[in-house]
Amino acid sequence: MKGVVFTEFLEFIEDKFGFDISDEMIENSATSTNGVFTQAGNYPFEDMLSLVQTLSKITNIPLGDLVQAYGEHLFSRLITIYPKPISVYENTFDFVSNVEKVVHPEVKKLYPDSDLPTFEDPVIEGNTLEINYISSKPLMDFAKGLIIGCSKHYNEEIDISYDLIESSPKFKARFTLTKK
């Protein structure tokens, strides 16, 4: 998992919960680098899992809620760090339907070692977009948070839900976005 996902996570946690909680989380997590991450590095997904599990225990906030909140925050950070994709699309459905074809391929050019999910079979019908998420990692709530962040960027009110369809050999979920 790319270092930028870790460096932004640690900043987010320090802003939201303060230095002491952030420090307690790092001290009590089993990470491969003892909590030291750089933006361009690459670290095991298990490191992120350990950090979020520890934080969930410390704060009593369910893991999925933490991951979703982080995803929502990260969207605005990603488009600040990499502004190119956001300038091309005019709304959430447009953006989300093009993550696979345009946004993530740009990320892959920058970081050939990145391990990105697949988004496939987008179907737009009236006020609804359905799209499949496929990944080696169960990051549905993270994806949901990113989509919430995207809809806030475009000032659109959108309900987002997903159904898990498969969890082996990969995680597959069907997302439904409904404009209110």
Q: CB 56 → ligand HEM: shortest distance, Å?
A: 18
Q: CB 162 → ligand HEM: shortest distance, Å?
A: 11
* 2 versus 73: smaller Cβ distance to ligand HEM: 2
* 18 versus 105: smaller Cβ distance to ligand HEM: 105
* 56 versus 114: smaller Cβ distance to ligand HEM: 114
DSSP string, the chain: -BHHHHHHHHHHHHHHH-HHHHHHHHHTS--TTTT---TT-B--HHHHHHHHHHHHHHH---HHHHHHHHHHHHHHHHHHHS-TGGGT--SHHHHHHTIIIIIHHHHHHH-TT----EEEEEEEETTEEEEEEEESS--HHHHHHHHHHHHHHTT--EEEEEEEEE-SSSEEEEEEEEE-
Binding site for ligand HEM (CB under 6 A): 1-2, 4-5, 78-79, 82, 85, 95-96, 99, 103-104, 107, 114-117, 135, 137, 139, 142-143, 146-147, 150
Q: CB 7 → ligand HEM: shortest distance, Å?
A: 11
* 9 versus 25: smaller Cβ distance to ligand HEM: 9
